Amino acid sequence: MAQEDTGNSSRPVKLLSGAIAAALFGLAGCVPAPSNPESAAVNKLARQGFELVSDGRTSDAPSVMRYSGSSSAVILCSTNGGAFTTASAVKSIKTQDGLTGKQTAQVDGRIIVDNEGGQSGLYVATVVREIRSSSGNLVARQIEMIEFKPGSTGRFKNGTICKART
């Protein structure tokens, strides 16, 4: 009796399990194929502001992406061994001598994305520093450039290390 009861009570559970299994098998046929890794990498760079200048997603050729603009969107930097964080594009100071200084940063990037989503190419980060006198005249300008490849870092003279945002 107890065995019969057990058997009867387990029948709905078995039916439910079968239904779930059938549903899972059915869903398996509907799962989209993994996205093209080249397309995924291209889309990710495009979201950062890169422009697609050569589209290789439907061929064996690589895709070429180009960026020129604010550093904030595409690179991260670390100062004094700290964590990599968003790189400030603008900085201003006023000195005790009455001079004012402004520093702006921009990045130019040309990135190649292969069929497997691998990236090569170059990032060039440029900092321009301008000093103005108390009367507002430009008295000095300084340019400093670093470059690095995707997956590696570049180092400014003041020790700040930068890398591509991933």
Partner 1 sequence: MNKIFSKFAAALGAVGLLGSTGAADAHSFSNAGEARTYLLQHPDGPRAEAAFRLIVEESLTQKYPEFTLRSLSDGSATAISPEPGTSRAAILRALSELSDATPTRRNIVGNTSNEQVY
Distance, in Å, from the CA atom of 143 to the CA atom of 76, rounded to the nearest integer, reads 20
Token readout for 138 is: 């430009």
Which helix (H) or strand (E) covers residue 75, if one does?
strand 75-78
**DSSP 8-state assignment for residue 73:** T
Measured in Å, how far apart are the chain's first and last C-alpha atoms? 65
* Closer Cβ to partner 1, 11 or 157, answer by number: 157
Residues of this chain, 61-80, that bind partner 1 according to CB under 8 A: 62, 64, 72, 76-80
Q: Which stretch binds partner 1 (CB under 8 A): 6-14, 16-24, 27-35, 98-106?
A: 98-106
SS3 state at 45 = helix
Residue indicated by tokens 């046929």: 29
Q: Give 3 or 80: the residue with its C-beta nearer to partner 1.
A: 80
Shortest approach of partner 1 to residue 61 CB, angstroms?
A: 8
**Site residues (vs partner 1, CB under 8 A):** 54, 62, 64, 72, 76-80, 82, 84-88, 90-95, 97, 99, 101-103, 105, 108, 110, 112, 120-122, 124-129, 131, 133-135, 137-147, 156-160
